[in-house]
Structure 1
Amino acid sequence: RFGTPSGLQLLMDVGSFMVFIMLTGRMGELAFATSNIAFSINNLAFAPLLGFGMAASIVVGQHQGAQRPAASQRAGYTGLKMGLTYMCVIGATFVLFPHAYFDLFRPKNAGFTAEEMLGLGRNMLLLVTVSGLLDTVSIVLSGALKGAGDTRFVMIYMIIGSWLMLVPGALLLLWAGVGILGLWGWLAAYMCVLAVGFWWRWRQGHWKTIRVIGNRAFIPRE
């Protein structure tokens, strides 16, 4: 009831990003290398955000199991505030010190100069920061929704967003000949759609009516 939708949601999410990365490989050596480095830099922010999402899921699940929806709602918003605070701090370093990050990943013997990569990467890190802030909302609130048992909505919404928006849109933009920044802009738009949807679902409060455990109390065996 709860585990299968979460597993499918993760599979569809990862699959769509694999397709997106494959599409960036058709944009040329400079664009592909810079995009991959931007993804690597983004992982510095993304991995801790997963922790905020897992924490929100666990705490909300505990409160829902104890039938404390008000405490669940506070926990969800607390996790969101913490995640956004963290992302604002690390995102500021992305914007202010892009050269420091790209120096860590600068490829050797490439068919382009470091200045060319940094020129493109500086703009890309701006989009990484915007996407990261939006992704924070998605990760934390989708985690909170899953902790409350609303896993089916998270699965369906993620599948619709990733396979009916992100992938088809990226294919269309690639066919239209937009640059790599256009693809990253589309990724940011996708993150915005996810963030708005999960925010709306959390504010709607349907998850408060879901029972994550049965009516029978658990009595430990002696």
Structure 2
Amino acid sequence: MSLTTEVPAGEAHGAGIPDATDPYGLFEAWFAEAVAKEPNDPNAMCLATTTPDGWPSARMVLLKGRDDRGFVFYTNEQSRKGGELLSNPRAALCFHWKSLRRQVRVEGTVERVTTAESDAYFASRSRGSRISAASSDQSRPLPSRAEFERRIAELEARYPGDTLPRPPHWGGFRVLPLRIEFWQDMPFRMHDRLVFERAGEGWTTGRLFP
């Protein structure tokens, strides 16, 4: 979807959340305003996962794709978050746009994106980012910074051009929302909360006490 989606009337900072039936359309409107006004990384989101025995963990990642199927990010599948997602394919996301005083929470199941999607996104990254991704045993112990730099130098020498292939363990995940909640700061803590919950092919919606 386009990053230039127009923000509906009434969506200005400080206004309440308008009634809506499509959470993706509302997300696009808010995201477009975040892109225009947030100083850094408007696509940053907190990703929460759990171990098979229920221990939670959270970290910031970057949203790299979104449509009416869900929200996509990419990572090393052998990392801690990759392992947790593969063993327990459920996750929660939280976007916090501080300058807009808005938050969006997403909860749902998780699936791998297609090989073609992962290949296309990996190829779109800068050469340096691809080299770093391929050199990293993400989340595992690193004896020294020098070891990581040595691996980077080796790959730079092995692939002097722009043909570095995507590592087979590096790819994308898509969070398929079952619940999406929009939160807007309001004066005197009278915040506005609008929640959508998946119901078959559609959504039910309602408001929550702040």
TM-score (norm. length: structure 1): 0.22
Determine which structure has the larger strand proportion and give its number. 2
Q: Which has the higher contact order (CA 8 A, sep 6+)?
A: 1
Determine which structure has the larger helix proportion and give its number. 1
TM-score (norm. length: structure 2): 0.23
